[in-house]
């Protein structure tokens, strides 16, 4: 029997339990104003006891997530692929990666001995977890709830496999705070940095801009036209995609299929959103942005299945559900309904998490068994 699954389960319980004690208003004030968790916004330069407690808790969450990610070895079906590519980069041979990723790997290799790939994985783990934690601290209404959704939704554990993609996903999530502040220069700066590691992230520039607009009813005509164009001009969109990613054409990813699970998750969040739209979304800019992102992801999953790896584009949008769901639940006026929806959401995500862990042993995922270089 493989007992390494308990590492994932214990990690999830620990970080959610730590998140339970985070006081979000203070944590957000800490995070948004600079530094690793920031400095207090208006405390006369002093740090309150609660703010210090928040910093310790969030830092501990970061350390736990980073440690499990950084110490892994042979976890994920892409792990040895990346190791082979590291060797090609060291030999200055061509690899199909963006220049930022290649440059960082070469920089790290210049400071390491031959074929020292473990520290390289650790560096990417550090920044992926860093941006995830900073994004959650900056944007969540309930830090504990958001951490729970990140873990049970599989986002964190999937980052153990797709190194480049989940790094830029974390950066994109972190950059949302600049969208909400309409600090477009800072937003584009971070997205361009991310694009140096995975250029697919460039799609969030128009998508996040559209999601941030205050949509009117007549704007729905443009949404309908966009859906129609996806159905009518599939060849046009495919030519654009294959221009940037020619290796996807005819590959195992070019199947024309979409994930029914992703459609179901987005549809369920849409139902919850519509039930409490007036109470929780209509006058709340952040929730409205996340609502639009979830709706956009649902549209892509339903109408753009012809795009290879459409789920990756969708994740840039539906990652916001880890903020939208707590943002809705916390605004439900009746306590019984808040408790009911919290229980329903938790049960649904735990069920998904169980299925996710069960599939983690499959050869095309290989997130389990978990191995690390300390106790191998």
| Angle at 62 (CA atoms; ends 59, 63), nearest 5 degrees | 90
Nearest-angstrom CA–CA distance, 54 and 140: 14
281: which 2 tokens? 């979304």
- Measured between alpha carbons, how far is 95 from 28 in angstroms, rounded to an integer? 40
H, E, C per residue of the chain: CCCCHHHHHHHHHHHHHHHHCCCHHHHHHHHHCCCCCCCCCCCCCCCCHHHHHHHHHHHHHHHHHHHHHHCECCCCCCHHHHHHHHHHHHCCCCCCCCHHHHHHHHHHHHCCCCCCCHHHHHHHHHHHHHHHHHHHHHHCCCHHHHHHHHHHCCHHHHCCCCHHHHHHHHHHHHHHHHHHHCCHHHHHHHHHHHHCCCHHHHHHHHHHHHHHCCCCHHHHHHHHHHHHHHHHCHHHHHHHHHHHCHHHCCCCCCCCCCCHHHHHHHHHHHHHHHHCHHHHHCCCHHHHHHHHHHHHHHHHHHHCCCCCCHHHHHHHHHCCHHHHHHHHHCCCCCHHHHHHHHHHHHHHHHHHHHHHHHHCCCCCCCCCCCCECCCC
pLDDT tens digits along 63-115: 999 999 999 999 999 999 999 999 999 998 988 899 999 999 999 999 998 88
| Res. 264: pLDDT tops 70 | yes
Q: Does the pLDDT of residue 14 top 70, yes or no?
A: yes
Distance CA 61, CA 137 (A): 11
Per-residue confidence band for 36, with pLDDT thresholds at 50, 70 and 90: very low
Q: Enter the tokens of residue 270.
A: 């849409």
Mean pLDDT calculated for residue range 227-256: 74
- Report the mean per-residue pLDDT for the chain: 88
The answer to whether residue 291 scores a pLDDT higher than 90 is: yes
More confident call, 329 vs 48: 329
200 is written with which tokens? 């697919």
- Residue 31 scores a pLDDT above 70: no
Instruction: Pick the more confident residue, 145 or 54.
Output: 145
- Does residue 7 contact residue 68 with C-beta atoms inside 8 Å? yes
Beta bridge partners of 371: none
Distance between CA atoms of 350 and 331, rounded to whole angstroms? 23
Q: Closest by alpha carbon to 21, among 64, 68, 63, 60?
A: 60
Of 357, 346, 355, which Cα lies nearest the Cα of 7? Answer: 357
* Beta carbons within 8 Å of 30's beta carbon, 6+ residues apart: 37, 38, 39, 40, 51, 54, 55, 137
Q: Tokens 């390494």, residue?
A: 4
Summarize pLDDT for 118-144 with one digit per residue, the tens. 999 999 999 999 999 999 999 998 999
41: pLDDT strictly greater than 60: no
CA dihedral 69, 72, 73, 78 (to 10 degrees): -30
Q: Which two tokens stand for residue 23?
A: 């006081």
64-78, 177-191, 227-241, 316-330: segment of lowest average pLDDT: 227-241
The residue ranking higher by pLDDT, 308 or 3, is 3
């Amino acid at each position: 029997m493989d007992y390494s699954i308990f590492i994932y389960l214990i990690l999830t319980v620990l970080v959610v339990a730590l998140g339970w004690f985070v006081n979000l208003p203070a944590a957000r004030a800490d995070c948004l104003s600079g530094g690793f968790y920031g400095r207090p916004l208006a405390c006369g330069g002093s740090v309150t006891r609660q703010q210090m407690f928040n910093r310790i808790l969030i830092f501990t969450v970061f350390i736990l997530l980073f440690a499990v990610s950084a110490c892994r070895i042979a976890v994920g079906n892409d792990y040895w692929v990346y190791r082979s590519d590291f060797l090609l980069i060291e030999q200055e041979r061509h690899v199909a990666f963006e220049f930022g990723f290649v440059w960082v790997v070469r920089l790290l290799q210049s400071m390491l001995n031959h074929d020292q790939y473990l520290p390289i994985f650790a560096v990417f783990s550090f920044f992926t977890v860093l941006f995830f934690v900073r994004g959650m601290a900056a944007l969540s209404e309930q830090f504990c709830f958001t951490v729970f959704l990140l873990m049970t939704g599989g986002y964190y554990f999937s980052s153990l496999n797709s190194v480049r993609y989940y790094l830029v996903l974390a950066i994109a999530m972190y950059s949302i705070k600049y969208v909400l502040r309409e600090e477009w220069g800072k937003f584009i700066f971070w997205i361009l940095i991310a694009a140096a590691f995975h250029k697919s992230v460039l799609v969030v520039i128009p998508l996040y801009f559209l999601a941030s607009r205050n949509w009117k009813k007549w704007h729905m005509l443009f949404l309908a036209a966009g859906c129609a164009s996806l159905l009518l001009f599939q060849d046009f969109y495919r030519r654009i995609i294959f221009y940037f990613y020619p290796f996807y054409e005819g590959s195992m990813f070019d199947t024309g299929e979409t994930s029914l699970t992703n459609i179901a998750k987005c549809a369920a969040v849409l139902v919850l959103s519509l039930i409490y739209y007036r109470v929780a979304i209509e006058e709340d800019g952040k929730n409205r942005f996340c609502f639009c992102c979830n709706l956009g992801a649902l549209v892509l999953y339903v109408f753009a299945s012809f795009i290879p790896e459409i789920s990756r584009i969708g994740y840039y949008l539906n990652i916001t559900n880890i903020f939208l769901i707590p943002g809705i639940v916390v605004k439900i006026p009746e306590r019984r309904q808040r408790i009911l929806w919290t229980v329903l959401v938790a049960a649904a995500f735990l069920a998904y998490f169980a299925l996710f862990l069960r599939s983690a042993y499959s050869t095309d995922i290989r997130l389990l068994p978990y191995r690390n270089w300390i106790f191998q």
